[in-house]
Amino acid sequence: MIVDYIVSALGLGALYALLTIGVALLFGVLGLMNFAYGEIILAAAFALYFFRDAPWLFAVAMAVVFAVAVALLSERLAFHPLRGADPVTLMIASFAVSLALQSVARMTVLPRAQGVPPQDFLAQRVDILGARVSVRDLVTLVLCGLVLVAVAYLMGRTSLGVQLRAAAENFQMAESLGVKGNRVIASAFVIAGVLAAVGAVVLVTRQGAVSAQMGLQPMLIGVIGAVLGGMSSLRGAALGGFILGVGTATLEALLPSDLIAFRDAFLFTALIGVLVVRPQGLLSGSKVRVS
Amino acid sequence: MDLVIEDLYVQYGSSVMAVQGASLVVRDGELVALIGQNGAGKSTLMKAVMGWVSPHAGSIAIGGTSVRDRAFSHLDRGVAFVPEDRGIFSSLTVGENLRLGAVRRRDKKAVAEDIERELERFPVLRRYWGRGASLLSGGEQQQLAIARAMMLNPRLLLLDEPTLGLAPIIVDLIFDVIEQLRAEGVTILLVEQNAVRSIEVADRTYVVQAPGRIIGSGTAAELGASAAVVDYLGFEPTDLGRAAS
């Protein structure tokens, strides 16, 4: 029971951390609170549905391709022309992109929810320290954990990561030193797309279905986790998402069954309490570029 | 490389005029100071040169090309800027900050040599190489900011209040470095509130009074001959300056 809980909680924490990093990265680099992030997840989820009969790894690869393509297209068509606009303008634009993509999905390929049967191996359980642990939870933990390690390596040890961190902190200064703004922004959208795709793989696996509205909840998780951790710090955002995920899993494990329906009420009450004490988030770093 | 500013007006919003008809010339190899009190419009003028704010009227040309020209690139022209807030990236280490100044360069050997040159110039940076830049003192951050700008191998260096809020011993160090850079052939526009030290090191000095109006310019002796400048500065600058020393 405890092993099962630990795997589930860490897996959900890692998943939520990925989602928050995707949101916080774009906010840091572009000043963009991207409410269309959910539709990037939707694009990946649709690929999983479209290629549901293909080998699973191929479908996952296509999910990444779809998510990155939608992320880059939204940047090029919607956000690039608004470069330098104030954050409210960017936010409203992201609402528009979100609604447009969701409507297109509903009118064309996803008028109603479509089932995506999980892979057989994901439905199995394995023995770990005497506990029967869900393979799905293990895969969630390993996949999200590996992607988090990859993101940490990219951001901490590569030139692109240094440029992304610099641009997230002071875009104008970074550009004046030779950081290529367009390249950094495109890279941020690609990374956000990859993270959204991984998130979609896990969500579709857990939910067994794809719908036009499915991006809303993970997008909100990303935003809330980022606010909790501190929008100005990617590390903080990841921590916020992780805490949110672990908190969700913990409440699911501890709450009596008749209170499970109120899980989010408990969670967000605690979140409000944290923000009252630390309105800047748990790991607020330096100033945030907002224009 | 020459910097020529002619009749520049910069306005914030619809009413606040930050720079009003400023004209200024920095010739190749010169160290020119722009002094004035807080809020006189010095930093705004610097940002206009960098293209960070758009002038209302007037022109700014570097090496004969307008900075508003679509094809103009400050980096390609060899312009480096150290802003008033130093622009240090607090989430990066000292080493990462310094290397960022060479992010466009592919000549690894020359970059390594230039890093070594800056570490010789500012030994404190070698000591704190792997440390987070946010942990540096103000003076150390200023040294990092100048070293990072020098990684661009600039032909024109814009320094905005590099000694603001620093201890006297660090102020001396920064002014020594500025003189050293001038001797190395870097053209420098220095914005400062420290009028005495600026006039001492500069070839020529412009005096700016709020709202962004230049009230006098020239060598220390020429400034001393202007009653308006002497009245504004509150001291007689004639005996300061390179010519006097």
Query: For the domain that residue B227 is a member of, what is the CATH number?
Result: 3.40.50.300
Residues B103 and B58 in one domain: no
In a domain, B84, yes or no: no
Lowest model confidence (mean pLDDT) among A61-65, A74-78, A229-233, B112-116: A229-233
Measured CA to CA, the distance from residue A217 to residue A197 in angstroms comes to: 15
Q: CA-CA distance, B210 to B146, in Å (whole number)?
A: 27
Q: Say if residue A26's pLDDT is above 60.
A: yes
Interchain pair A170, B89: CB under 8 A? yes
Average pLDDT over residues A54-60: 94
User: Is B83 within the bounds of a domain?
Assistant: no
Write the DSSP symbol of residue B34: E
End of a domain among B116, B133, B153?
B153
Q: Which ranges in A170-288 belong to alpha helices (H)?
A: 171-176, 181-207, 216-229, 234-254, 263-277
Residue A16 · residue A141 · CB < 8 Å: no
Q: Whole domain around residue B101: which residue ranges?
A: 89-153
B244 and B190, same domain (yes or no): yes
Task: Write the residue in A166, A168, A233 that is nearest to B100 by C-beta.
Answer: A166
Indicate the fold that domain A2-277 takes in CATH.
ABC transporter involved in vitamin B12 uptake, BtuC (1.10.3470)
Residue B242: band (very low, low, confident or very high) from pLDDT cuts 50, 70, 90: low
How close, in Å, is residue B228 to chain A by CA atoms?
37
Do B158 and B244 belong to one domain? yes
Interface of B with A in 102-131 (CB under 8 A): 102-105
Could you give the count of Cα atoms lying within 13 Å of A255 in the half-sphere of its Cβ? 17
CA-closest candidate to residue B206, choices B5, B63, B2: B5
CA distances from B30 to A58, A119, B1, B141, B142 (A): 63, 71, 9, 25, 22
pLDDT at A186: 94
User: How many distinct structural domains can be found in chain B?
Assistant: 2
Extract the runs of DSSP E, i.e. beta strands, from A59-124: 114-115
Quick check: ipTM above 0.85?
yes
Say whether pLDDT at A287 is over 50.
no
Of A141, A107, A102, nearest in space to A122 by CA: A141
Q: With cut-offs at 50, 70 and 90, classify the pLDDT of residue A290.
A: very low
Amino acid at A282: L
Alpha-carbon gap: B150 to the closest alpha carbon of chain A (Å): 10
Q: Are B165 and B64 found together in one domain?
A: yes
How confident is the model at residue A289, as a pLDDT?
Answer: 39
Q: Does residue B244 lie in a domain region? A: yes
Domain boundary among B153, B174, B202: B153
Q: How far off is chain B from A266, nearest CA to CA, in Å?
A: 34
Q: Where is the domain boundary, B102, B122, B153? A: B153
Using one digit for the tens of pLDDT, what is the confidence trace for B183-229?
999 999 999 999 999 999 999 999 999 888 999 999 999 998 898 88
The answer to whether the CB atoms of A177 and B101 lie below 8 A apart is yes
Measure the CA–CA gap between A44 and A67, rounded to whole angstroms.
Answer: 5
The whole-chain average pLDDT of chain A stands at 90
One domain for residues B149 and B207: no
Same domain, B97 and B24: no
Mutation site, A176, A233, A284, A287, interface B, largest B CB count within 10 A: A176
Residue B244, pLDDT above cutoff 70? no
3-state helix, strand, coil split of chain B in percent (to 5) is: 35, 25, 40
Same domain, B17 and B65: yes
Enter the tokens of residue B175. Answer: 């002014």
pLDDT above 70 (res B174): yes
